[in-house]
Structure 1
Amino acid sequence: MYISIRNHIILLLIFFTLMPILLLQIVAYPRIHSDLEDVIMDNLEVIGHKQAELVSTWMRERMKDVLVIAANPFMSKSANITKKDEDYYDTVQYLERIVSEYGYKGAFISDNKGAVKVATSEEGTGRDISNTDFFKNAIQGKTFATSVIPSKVPLINEFEEKEVGLPTMFISTPLKDKDDTIVGVVTLRVHVGILSNLMQSYKFGDTGETYLVNKEGFMLTESRFTKQLKKIGRVKTRSTLEMKLTDPETGKLTAGVRQCVAGEDGSDAKGYNDYGGVTVLGVWQWLPEYNWGVITEIDKNEAYGAAYNLKNIVIALLLSIAFPILLVAYLVGRRFSRPILELTEITKKMASGDLTQRVDVKRLDKPLIKDEIGVLASSFNTMAETLDKKMKETAESESKLRELFDSLKAGIYQCEPGVEGRFTWVNHAAAEIFGYSAPEDMIGTKVKDIYVDQNDRKKLLEKLEKDGVWKDFVSFCKKKNGEQFYTERTSNIVHDAEGKPVRIDGLFRDITERKKQEDEQKKAAKIRESEKS
C-alpha cells in the first residue's frame, strides 16, 4: 500500500508526541491502579479488623458487667428473694441503676430452676426461663452470650412502641453462694441498637459500611442503607434479622458472606455483588466465640474512583491534544513534503515520456531552498536537463540510423525467437520485398509464414542456437500475395544477461534473378559437356 511521505511525516510526529501519554496509559496507569488497589484493601482490612476488635471488646465488657453483678456478695440471696423481703427493692434499684448507667434494656435474676425472682420493670418476675440457651449454659457454670434473636416479650422499639420480636440478646452468668454453689442465674438484656451504632461509628466514604452477620446469613445490625432497602421492599421494619444477605441476581448468599459464615477470614479486591446488587470490595472476619461475622464493604466504583478519574484524565488529555497535534503535524508535513510530492509527480510525468518537466525551485520556502530539499530539487532539474538532452541526441541518432536502414535496398528485420516468433521491426526494403505497402503492415506477422517450406524456420533456429549466427542462408520464400522467390540472409541471435534468447536480427535480399542466372549457367554447362561427349 502506497503511503506518501507527507503522511509518513504526520504519522511519525503523532507517534512520537503521543508516545509518552500512551506509555502513561499502558504502563503507568496499571501500576498506579495496582498500588492504589493495595492501599485501599489495606485500609479496608484495617477498618474491618478495628471493627471486629471493637465488637469483641464491647462484648467482653458486657460479660464483665454481668460477672460484676454476680460477684456482688449481696446478690447470692437474690436467687430466692421475694417481694416481702426487705432487700428486694434495694436489689431492684441496683439492677435498674446498672441498666440505666450501662445502657441495657433490662436485667433479671432467676433461681436455679429458671424462675425469675427479681427483675427490672421491663422484664417482670415469675417467668420461667429454664428452656432458654442463656439459662442452660449459665446454670452449667458458663458466662454465655446469645446471638441476636427476636424477643418473646413486648419491648419498646425505636418508635417508642411495644413490639414482640424486637431484636435482642442476652448475657448470663451463674450466681453462686458463699460455698460456690450455683443458686441462680444473672441475666442482662443487651441493647442491640448499640451494636449497630458501633458498626456505624467509623465512616468511610459514601458507600462504606460494616455490619454483623450470623451463621444463617442474616444481618445482626442495622444497614447504613435501611431506608433504601425499605423503598425497594427488601425489608419491612429494620435490617436486623430481616435482611438475609443474598445476591439479588442469584438468590444465594453474597460471596463475602458465604465465605465468612463458613468460618473463613478473607478479602476480595476484584469485586462481588453485595445484598443490594452493587459491586463492592470487601473484607471479612469470623468471630467463633460469638458465631458472628464482621464484614466491611465499599462500592468498587467509589473505592477505585481515583484510579478511574486518572484514566478519564488520561483519555481527556489524549483527546484534547490530538487535534492540535494533528493540525501541527499536517502543516509541518505539508511544508516539508510538498516539494518532495512535487518531485514525485514530475518523476511520474517524466517516466511517461515528458522530459520537459522541471521543479520550480523559486516556489519553495526560503529555508527549504538552502537545505537538502533545495539541493535535491536543483539536482533533479540538472538530471532532467541532462536526460532530456541525451534522449534528444539518442532520438536523433536513432532517426538517422532508421533513415539509413530505410535507404538500403537490403531487407533488415528483428523478430522474436522461437518457431512461432513474430516480426517486431522491419525496414521499408523488407516490407517491399515481401509485398507489403509499409513496414507497419508486416510487423506482427509470423516469421514462419514467409517460408514455402516452414522447416526452413526450424533449421535456422537450430543453427542459431548452435552457432549464434548463420551467414548466406538461402531459402525459398513467398510474398504476401503468394508469389514465390529466393532469399539469401544472414541472421544472428541475441541473448540477455542470463543467456536467454530475446530476439533475432537479420539482413536478407531477393536473389531470384541471381538464382535464375545460376540455373541457366548450370544448364549451359551441361549442354556443352554433352556436346563434347
Structure 2
Amino acid sequence: MECRALFNFTKNKLIIFLLIFSFLPLFIMRLVVYPIAFNALRDEIIRNLRLAVNKQAELIAAWMEGRLSNARYIANNPFLIQAMQKTGNALTIEVNEYFKSICSDFGYKEIFYADRNGKILFASNKALYGENILEQDYYRRAIAGAFFVSNIQSSLELTGNVAGFQEADTPAMIMSLPVKNAPDAILGVLAVCVDVAEIDRVMKSVHFGKTGEAYLINKNGYMLTTSRFTDELLQADRIKKRASLELKIVDPYTKKPTKGALECINGGEGYDAHGYPDYRGVRVLGFWHWMPDYDWGVIAEIDVNEGYGKLYTLRDSVMFVFAFLAMGIVIVVFLLVKKVTLPYR
C-alpha cells in the first residue's frame, strides 16, 4: 500500500515537472517577450506620430510666417505707398496688376486696399472696386494700427457679404494691416484674403500608414483642413460639402469631443497609446499639439488595428501555437510518464 502511494506520488511529481518544463518557454514568450515587443512597437508608433505632428506644426508656422512677412512687404512697398497718395486710371491699373501678380505667385484669393473711409481703391479683383468695408472687423482693427489675422472662416462670414468676393463659401482667412507713409500717419488698410487650401497642401506633405492622418482644428473643436475620410463622412451625412469648418471633432456615438481634440484645445501636448474613439468612432492612437500663436491644434492619428496590427497577428499566432503545443505536450507527457512508470506498477 505504501509502495502504491509512493508510486502515485512520484508519478504525479514527474507529470507536474515535465509539464512545467515543457510550458515554461511558452509562458516566458507570452508573459515576457510579447510585452517587451508590444512596448517597443508602442513607443515607435508614438514617436512617429510625434514627429508627424511636430513636422506639421513647423511647416504651418513657417507657412504662416511667410504670409505675414509677405503682407508686411506689400504694405511697406514704396511704390504702393506712393500710388495710394496719387490718383489716375493708369496708376490704378498698374497697382491692380501688381496685386494680381502677387495673388498668382502666392495663391492668395484677393488683395485689396481701402482708404481711411473704408472705400476699396485698388484690388486684384475688379468687382471689389468702390466697395466699402468700413464696418468690417478686419478693417477696423487695421485702421486702428494693428496687424490683424482673422480666424479661418467661410469667406461669406469673413467678408460680411461684401459684393465682389469670389467663392464666398470656401474656408479662408484675412490678414489686414495699416499702410503708413510715416510712423503715425495711416493712409489706409491693406487686406490679403488667404486660401486655406494652401494649408491643406502643407498638411498633406506628411504621410504615414493607410489610415494615418494629420489635421488642424480650431479652439471650438472644428476641423480646419480636409479629412482623409471625406467620402465616408459624406455617406454618413456628417458633412454637407467638406470637413473643413463643418466637422466637429466628436465621437459620433457619445457626441462628446474626442480625447485628442479635448486635451489639445485645453492647450496641451500629449498622446494616447491605448486607443480612443476618433471622429469616425474608430479606435485610434493619437498625438496632439496646440499652437497658441494661432489658436490652432495639430492632431495626428492612426487606427489601432493598423498601428498594432502586426503585433496582434503575432499574438494570435503565438496563442494558436501555444494551444496546439499544449495539447500535444499534455498527451506526450502522459504517454511518457506511463511508459517510464510501467515497470514499477
TM-score greater than 0.5 by the shorter chain: yes
Q: Which amino acid aligns with 1:85?
A: N
1:51 has 2:51 as partner: no
Q: CA deviation at 1:62?
A: 0.6
TM-score of the superposition, structure 1-length normalised?
0.59
* Equivalences, count: 333
Q: CA deviation at 1:52?
A: 0.9
Q: CA deviation at 1:30?
A: 1.7
Of 120, 123, 129, the match for 1:116: 120
**Equivalent pair of 1:78/1:117 in contact (CA under 8 Å):** no
Aligned equivalent of 2:67: 62
**Equivalent pair of 2:288/2:298 in contact (CA under 8 Å):** yes
Q: CA deviation at 1:81?
A: 5.9
Q: CA deviation at 1:254?
A: 1.3
- Higher CA-based Rg: 1
Partner SS, residue 75 of structure 1 = helix
1:132 has 2:136 as partner: yes
- Determine the C-alpha separation between the residues in 1 that align with 2:158 and 2:152: 16
1:230 has 2:230 as partner: no
- Determine the C-alpha separation between the residues in 1 that align with 2:101 and 2:69: 16
Of 21, 32, 37, the match for 2:37: 32
Give the % identical residues. Answer: 38
**Equivalent pair of 2:99/2:124 in contact (CA under 8 Å):** yes
- Determine the C-alpha separation between the residues in 2 that align with 1:337 and 1:128: 104
**Equivalent pair of 1:271/1:300 in contact (CA under 8 Å):** yes
1:84-142 deviation per Cα after TM superposition (whole angstroms, max 9, x unaligned): 43211111111111111111112111112322111112762222222333222322333
Aligned equivalent of 1:17: 22
RMSD between superposed Cα atoms in Å = 2.4
- Determine the C-alpha separation between the residues in 2 that align with 1:164 and 1:65: 24
Aligned equivalent of 2:267: 263
Matches within 5 A, 1:100-111: 100-111=104-115
Of 246, 252, 255, the match for 1:248: 252
**Equivalent pair of 1:108/1:123 in contact (CA under 8 Å):** no
1:148 has 2:152 as partner: yes
Partner SS, residue 248 of structure 1 = coil
- Determine the C-alpha separation between the residues in 1 that align with 2:114 and 2:341: 101
**Equivalent pair of 2:173/2:193 in contact (CA under 8 Å):** yes
Instruction: Identify if the C-alpha distance between structure 1 residues 123 and 262 changes in structure 2 by more than 3 Å, giving closer, same or farther.
Output: farther
- Determine the C-alpha separation between the residues in 2 that align with 1:154 and 1:270: 40
Partner SS, residue 341 of structure 2 = helix
Instruction: Identify if the C-alpha distance between structure 1 residues 318 and 305 changes in structure 2 by more than 3 Å, giving closer, same or farther.
Output: same
Partner SS, residue 196 of structure 1 = helix
Matches within 5 A, 1:141-290: 141-152=145-156, 163-178=167-182, 181-290=185-294
Structure 1: 5+ residue stretches without partners: 156-161, 344-533
**Equivalent pair of 1:214/1:292 in contact (CA under 8 Å):** yes
Aligned equivalent of 2:163: none
TM-score of the superposition, structure 2-length normalised?
0.88
- After the TM superposition, which of the residue ranges 212-221 and 117-126 deviates more from structure 2? 117-126
Partner SS, residue 297 of structure 1 = strand
Q: Which amino acid aligns with 1:51?
A: Q
**Equivalent pair of 2:158/2:173 in contact (CA under 8 Å):** no
Partner SS, residue 248 of structure 2 = coil
Higher relative contact order, chain-length normalized (CA < 8 Å, sep 6+): 2
Of 308, 319, 337, the match for 1:304: 308
Instruction: Identify if the C-alpha distance between structure 1 residues 250 and 79 changes in structure 2 by more than 3 Å, giving closer, same or farther.
Output: farther
Aligned equivalent of 1:317: 321
Q: Which amino acid aligns with 2:31?
A: I
Q: CA deviation at 1:306?
A: 3.3
Structure 2: 5+ residue stretches without partners: 160-165
